Amino acid sequence: MKKAFLFIYSAVLRLSWLLALSGLLFAWLSTQVSPEKQAWLALFGLSFPFWFLLAIVNLVFMLLRKRWRSALILALGLILTGSLTTRTIAFGMGDEETAGENLKVMSYNVRLFDLYNWTEGADTRDKIFNFLDQNEVDVLCFQEFYFTQRKGVFDTRDTLIRFLPNTYFHEKYTHKLNGEQYFGVVTFSKYPIIGRGEIAFESDQNNYCIYTDILKGQDTVRIYNAHLASIRFQKEDYKALQDGPKSEDAMRLLTRLERAFIKRSSQVDLVRSHLEKDTTRMVVLCGDFNDSPVSYAYERLTDYLDDSFVEAGSGLGSSYVGTFPSFRIDYILHSRHFKASDFTTHAVDFSDHRPIQASLSFER
């Protein structure tokens, strides 16, 4: 009996150690391999915090049990995948503002200002307006923005222009209803707009990326505003996640995840290709990526741009406040011309996303 127990005990330890090491490896591979080739790998990137914690627990246990070889291999795995940890957890090491220029940027998925009364309808919209009024920035990038031409019905754009200093705007609407209602992405600027353009995503007409050239003094900065493909979970999907998915639920959830991973991979490749057309340009990329920092989408963009949260944020920076997943999926990235001196994930729950804000310093 004792021998059987020891055998099972040893087997469980080895399996846990192997799972932790394999999880770290597959999580890293998820950032290198496009989901169009191996979509299943993206699940390991999404679940990286679990594999990281499992590896830490196993490492401590191996050290306590004096299993030096196993501990060393696991420690090497953690070191080699250390970049996945530093992009997931930040420690608030922002640079001091330079003597040059400073640009304050906010990105916010407002979920149509609660048009369909997910919470409090017009009251939620007004709370968002009050929040924006108290947190003025130079550039505002909205995703899931709603605008109607019917005056006095559910005013958004015109009201924002009246009370904010960001009177210049660039908008692109992916959906139009009855010729008077519009849904899409909008960038508001405190500084004049001297150029604008679009990056269309053929893989999903619900999502889009626009770019806006603003003139700050003598400097031209290109602002990208991207909304990448979402998982599009429905009510039954969230219920299944809360109650524990059955086999048929699990297959449906995995299919939705796979489709979203694949759509985002093609979308982010288009954005990356556009960025590479002019490597000398001053660039800020804002948006709702609908993906975690351990993902192919994030890797493709931060291979070229820096993450202001990693530079100046703290903690996990979770920006999604819905039922699942509770991750950082909203970003403010920037070219090497900038340094982030401050980053804030605002603790307000007026949407299913929290607004994020960065102060970007640069010298002429």
Per-residue pLDDT of the chain (364 residues), as tens digits, is 666 666 676 788 889 999 999 999 999 999 999 999 999 999 999 999 999 999 999 999 999 988 999 999 999 999 999 999 999 999 876 666 555 679 999 999 999 998 887 666 688 999 999 999 999 999 999 999 999 888 878 889 999 999 999 999 999 988 777 768 889 999 999 999 999 999 999 877 789 999 999 999 999 999 999 999 987 765 665 565 565 656 666 677 788 888 899 999 999 999 999 999 988 899 999 999 999 999 999 999 999 899 999 999 999 999 998 766 568 999 999 999 999 999 999 999 999 999 999 999 987 6
327/320 Cα distance (integer angstroms)? 6
Boundaries of every domain in the chain: 2-88, 97-362
Phi, psi of 351 (to 5 degrees): -135, 180
Closest to 338 (Cα-Cα) out of 358, 318, 313, 314:
358
Q: How open is the CA angle 257-260-266, to the nearest 5 degrees? A: 145
Query: Between β-strands 101-109 and 139-148, what pairing exists: parallel, antiparallel or unpaired?
Result: parallel
**Which whole-number Å values give the CA distances from 89 to 75, 137, 223, in the listed order?**
18, 25, 26
Predicted TM-score (pTM) of the model is 0.91
Predicted pLDDT of residue 192: 97
Contact between residue 364 and residue 100 where contact means Cβ atoms under 8 Å apart: yes
Contact between residue 343 and residue 308 where contact means Cβ atoms under 8 Å apart: yes
Query: Between β-strands 356-362 and 339-345, what pairing exists: parallel, antiparallel or unpaired?
Result: antiparallel
189/194 Cα distance (integer angstroms)? 11
Spatial neighbors of 224 by CB under 8 A, at least 6 apart, are 209, 210, 211, 271, 275, 283, 284, 285, 286, 287
362/98 Cα distance (integer angstroms)? 7
Predicted pLDDT of residue 153: 81
The count of other CB atoms within 10 Å of the CB of residue 215 is 15
292/45 Cα distance (integer angstroms)? 8
Torsion angle (degrees, nearest 10) of CA 216, 106, 263, 236: -160
User: Percent helix, strand, coil in the chain (nearest 5)?
Assistant: 40, 25, 30
CATH of domain 97-362: 3.60.10.10
Closest to 105 (Cα-Cα) out of 208, 224, 268, 272:
224
**Which whole-number Å values give the CA distances from 204 to 9, 175, 230, 260, 279, in the listed order?**
49, 12, 10, 10, 27
Helical H runs in the chain?
Answer: 2-32, 41-46, 48-64, 68-80, 82-88, 122-134, 157-163, 235-243, 247-275, 296-302, 308-312
Integer Rg of the chain from CA: 22
